[in-house]
Structure 1
């Protein structure tokens, strides 16, 4: 640490090296490396206790979620539930010792696990049971020996102490020291621009929902149910209908064609050139405009529940770096892993994807592109390395936007048997469904973000307000249905109390603003103008994708866009500008 500090002012290093050095010093300082004596001892105690509290918070929440079971035995109680929900509920009942439970005849057990809870709230026609389940969900880990309330106060107190030791006024300032956002004011200004518009939209959403349900007295346990009904009535299609139009080989072709169109790179199979861990895994190579190979990636597309966790992700296998051997300098080329969990091919059917799986593939490929198209030769800042937390989702969310681009979508959405292109009416419904209740969805995320910042920036541990009173105050401007008096949401807010989003929950929205604004550059160039698209794509590749963590992300964004990010494109993409 001392050696790094001594080297800090010396200008004999390249900008990328300088940024790696600065990040290493900053991370060391924020880990308490420069502290001495009693202060160091106290800091280490705080770190240890915070780690223990985070684990306890998470375990309490897990145990409280598991503890609740709603047993259903009559047909009236399961009215409206789809077969997938009943299969899961019968399986839960068998796990609990009801060995004869079947999806048709029950008994059924509903739990507070999201895959069980959410479908019940969406589809159950039994309002009384929805209320019971909702109230159990919002009071998890708030009573008895699983109560997270005292943990919340202690965590916030210790974080404030930690910030003070490290010379920050608040924990939010400490958190932002590692982020792209310059300060709390900048984050709140951006969020307020989104809040003022989405609040009005959410009010409008609620009024429309009441009219649709023909009920002016909708409760919290009614909104998910009626919005599902309204969505079905408005868009009259479900994800399953679209699967035949998205066979994986065709989608990959479309994705690779898009990479060629906007970034001028050619992706071809390289199966057999590297060992794989399963016969389904594919290996590809990426060539630049002159035909030179610049990167490779593995694609492991299918679900294998017994040996592979769910979800989708990108991981770096090998990072780009400058290598010296026997006096010769060479560049080590990057290799990425892209992992998905799609339905495997069955009989003579290829893997047929839902539209949200297509979006997920584009998203992960965006992360992969930043890893693979980097031009930084220092591993510590190549690709996604050293990119600030609130900027790391920019390329991935940017790529998702292309799924809604007509040329891209129609280029890949072709029926796997007939070759027929996706009918236009489906495209229009996808566009409309994208913005269904988008004001409410945005306001919900802003509620979490404002609350997180308030607790880590203005809340005084042991002061006049409790964390729950802070929540109620923030809710006045960030919810259109006030939380119930017994709502103990904070006791389940794992992102900020046991995860890594403390004073960082805003990152989700911040990155959406960046990615929408980046995509807007292509819209402004003209999505039908191939020359302008190629030029804009080259600029994106030379900045966002090439520079990785070697330059501060605000400077990278300005190099691409010519200015700082604006919220207007995100509001427009969400169909919210008319409300503004």
Structure 2
């Protein structure tokens, strides 16, 4: 098979397509810490078969070796035309400006030529689909190869020089995308095609979808604006891009800045050996030579693999409070441990004000209407669902807190004193241990990265009939940004390559943003098909921040890290199993509030016995996970489920209200507004220093503004989809494979070629029901 690719960011023209770069930025906050010290706990998918039994390790994928991946040392790696895949490891900060300038000049020429050809057409002429779409796709692809690589590296290999280079070029990228979205000749071309019954009816359903999305995108992008309104609209877009970057940099820098060095055994009492080893390794990397797991010193950071276990296990209440406060005040005026100003409060409030102004210019009542114009749910439907789920969870969450308080007091917590936020995670872990008779750390040795990947790839083969093959990076001259990055080939039932992906598994807090995300490298495209082939194959990358190897010991994962890995792989499958093309391939074009369906669906398999037991093998002995642990894991799935659901609903409702009811005129403080919402969505009042919104990257630096509800909205569908497998029997191989094939051929394959709800109906035969979501959480529908 040929392997001719070029990288691409999101489509530059169709803003209604899901921006995978924005998705990546949103994902980078997916592990944001809650007021209870926890995370958005999701289940995950895993598999039972071992990939190394399915295919030879590091098998060479056909086509890769036929293309030179090397670049001369004196060339600009961003412009090297010999590179099939991005030369990630060769890109230097000084490459950014000349590469972006050159690509923008070329792209402007291409767009000008398209506009000129459209202007020359007679008024009655209707441009063909190919005339309109192909030039735009070419511009998006070529420019995206440069800018997509820069954006990716800024998230996984951040340096001050790269940051400055990106910030310098970002305004020009924003200006160019605005210039395309507001092009009257291009808009009129799409509008004429949409309005011509004869021409429109002759299009395929996929082509109609692309035309419709481009018309909507242009209208929401301000194509109808004139004069001062257009000028102000574009100023807002540019400023919002700057603020988004500032927001993310403030979060990253404040997270990196905090280090607490502990040198006394009593300070780390309760901490598991795996954490001690990692904390000593971190301390050594920060100048404390000779640090050992046994004697210390140990470094506590706000990076998730360090922070979360400390909140779960540290017996020192004083230190838990100290670390909790440091986390909750990141990127705020209270982050005194950061040398520079990282306060995101004014950044957030300016973002909200500008979004409100932008909505007004477009003729909408508020920004939430703008956001939901491109989604499945209406504003009313989204708010109604959040309220329905809040009604189902609130009383149960209150009872969970009462139970936790009583348990803490039975362990010696002062009677009559209320639990604080830095106590909740600690005592929740103790309560879970008491209820289910196991500790999270007991599971870690059973989840080595290698075994977990084997399980995942085995599940994917079982469900979808595809095989994942590791590729030798050196033999294929594949350039990566870190030595631990892996590269894989996905093969179809006939053994032919159908997609490729990178995997970056480990945390690197000094240079890599927190959280986990999936993003595209290049989409499937017939337009860029190599000679003799029908399509260019899709490539993506999955980025996680799990615990790295410590010394010579391999990486072992917490159950939550397993969940995160499989969640992101669900997104990756959505991108790589697509049969659609260009602007609607994979995740592109999928309504944002259902883009989480594939990822959340995959999570459910983590609680399937054969799937879990097939991958859970002790890293040293190879012994399988004891049977009783599986039963306990399944039983613990519903532990404090109402509290976790209510946390997500709080963020969702805050997001919707900040983008609709919040005045954004300075009359009300953003933080005070959140507290008002919390009066009906939180069972514990927030701390006075609560600055969580200052790190809420989903809505301030990602694609989830007035869209965070999407997690729960999509979970209605993902739970309902998994229920279809439960209904036929999870051990019924024939029916599971039949349903898996149907799911692959609809939800995973059709991308944005149809409305997401209609694609789901093709799979399920009906609309999604909320019943499975509530059942999986152990909740009942409110009366």
After TM superposition, list the pairs within 5 Å mapping 1:488-507 onto structure 2.
488-507=691-710
| Distance change in 2, residues 1:285/1:54 (3 Å) | closer
| Distance change in 2, residues 1:365/1:32 (3 Å) | same
Cα distance in 2 for partners of 1:66, 1:444 equals 26
1:321 to 504, 509, 525: 525
**Other-structure match for 1:153:** 349
* 1:24 aligns to 2:225 (yes or no): no
> CA offset at residue 109 of structure 1?
6.0
**Other-structure match for 1:470:** 673
1:37 to 227, 230, 234: 227
**Other-structure match for 1:366:** 570
**Other-structure match for 1:286:** 491
Further displaced range: 443-452 or 421-430: 421-430
Cα distance in 2 for partners of 1:339, 1:72 equals 30
Q: Deviations over 1:136-174 (max 9, x none)?
A: 544441459654444433322211110011121110111
Cα distance in 2 for partners of 1:340, 1:494 equals 16
**Other-structure match for 1:207:** 402
Cα distance in 2 for partners of 1:506, 1:432 equals 27
Preserved CA contact (<8 Å) 2:469 2:491: no
Cα distance in 1 for partners of 2:300, 2:621 equals 41
**Other-structure match for 1:177:** 373
> CA offset at residue 312 of structure 1?
5.7
After TM superposition, list the pairs within 5 Å mapping 1:409-424 onto structure 2.
409-414=612-617, 421-424=624-627
| Distance change in 2, residues 1:552/1:100 (3 Å) | same
Q: Deviations over 1:92-115 (max 9, x none)?
A: 777887778776666666555555
| Distance change in 2, residues 1:209/1:461 (3 Å) | same
| Distance change in 2, residues 1:498/1:355 (3 Å) | closer
Further displaced range: 484-493 or 211-220: 484-493
Cα distance in 2 for partners of 1:499, 1:179 equals 16
* 1:565 aligns to 2:768 (yes or no): yes
Aligned-residue CA RMSD (Å) = 3.9
Cα distance in 2 for partners of 1:221, 1:347 equals 31
Preserved CA contact (<8 Å) 1:190 1:567: no
* 1:162 aligns to 2:162 (yes or no): no
1:387 to 590, 598, 602: 590
> CA offset at residue 247 of structure 1?
5.8
2:237 to 47, 53, 62: 47
2:311 to 115, 121, 140: 121
| Distance change in 2, residues 1:139/1:247 (3 Å) | closer
Further displaced range: 334-343 or 438-447: 334-343
**Other-structure match for 1:544:** 747
Cα distance in 2 for partners of 1:246, 1:76 equals 29
> CA offset at residue 218 of structure 1?
1.5
Further displaced range: 507-516 or 551-560: 507-516
Further displaced range: 397-406 or 6-15: 6-15
Preserved CA contact (<8 Å) 1:303 1:310: no
**Other-structure match for 2:422:** 221
> CA offset at residue 44 of structure 1?
1.8
| Distance change in 2, residues 1:322/1:292 (3 Å) | farther
Cα distance in 1 for partners of 2:296, 2:443 equals 31
Preserved CA contact (<8 Å) 1:193 1:567: no
Preserved CA contact (<8 Å) 1:297 1:338: no
**Other-structure match for 1:237:** 438
Q: Which runs of 5+ in 2 are unaligned?
A: 1-185, 410-414
Secondary structure (helix, strand or coil) at the match of 1:330 reads: coil
Secondary structure (helix, strand or coil) at the match of 1:297 reads: strand
- How many residues are paired up? 575
Secondary structure (helix, strand or coil) at the match of 2:500 reads: strand
Cα distance in 2 for partners of 1:67, 1:419 equals 39
| Distance change in 2, residues 1:41/1:89 (3 Å) | same
| Distance change in 2, residues 1:262/1:155 (3 Å) | closer
Secondary structure (helix, strand or coil) at the match of 1:295 reads: strand
Cα distance in 1 for partners of 2:552, 2:269 equals 36
* 1:189 aligns to 2:384 (yes or no): yes
Preserved CA contact (<8 Å) 2:263 2:298: yes
> CA offset at residue 303 of structure 1?
4.8
| Distance change in 2, residues 1:210/1:340 (3 Å) | closer
> CA offset at residue 480 of structure 1?
0.5
Cα distance in 1 for partners of 2:528, 2:346 equals 55
Preserved CA contact (<8 Å) 2:746 2:763: yes
After TM superposition, list the pairs within 5 Å mapping 1:92-131 onto structure 2.
110=300, 112=302, 114-131=304-321
| Distance change in 2, residues 1:578/1:237 (3 Å) | farther
Cα distance in 2 for partners of 1:533, 1:73 equals 53
Cα distance in 2 for partners of 1:81, 1:97 equals 22
> CA offset at residue 199 of structure 1?
1.3
> CA offset at residue 547 of structure 1?
1.2
> CA offset at residue 510 of structure 1?
2.0
Further displaced range: 89-98 or 146-155: 89-98
| Distance change in 2, residues 1:146/1:565 (3 Å) | same
Structure number with the bigger relative contact order (C-alpha 8 A, sep ≥ 6) is: 2
**Other-structure match for 1:375:** 579
Q: Which runs of 5+ in 1 are unaligned?
A: none
> CA offset at residue 212 of structure 1?
1.0
Further displaced range: 142-151 or 562-571: 142-151
> CA offset at residue 132 of structure 1?
4.2
Cα distance in 1 for partners of 2:315, 2:735 equals 52
| Distance change in 2, residues 1:579/1:240 (3 Å) | farther
Q: Deviations over 1:275-317 (max 9, x none)?
A: 54589846444224xx473614346576596998887654545
Preserved CA contact (<8 Å) 1:73 1:108: yes
Cα distance in 2 for partners of 1:457, 1:529 equals 47
**Other-structure match for 2:193:** 7
Q: Deviations over 1:465-490 (max 9, x none)?
A: 43233212211111101113443333
**Other-structure match for 2:107:** none
Cα distance in 2 for partners of 1:158, 1:125 equals 45
Preserved CA contact (<8 Å) 1:318 1:335: yes
Preserved CA contact (<8 Å) 1:322 1:330: yes
Preserved CA contact (<8 Å) 1:324 1:330: no
1:514 to 706, 717, 723: 717
Cα distance in 1 for partners of 2:343, 2:547 equals 40
Cα distance in 1 for partners of 2:765, 2:449 equals 37
Cα distance in 2 for partners of 1:449, 1:260 equals 35
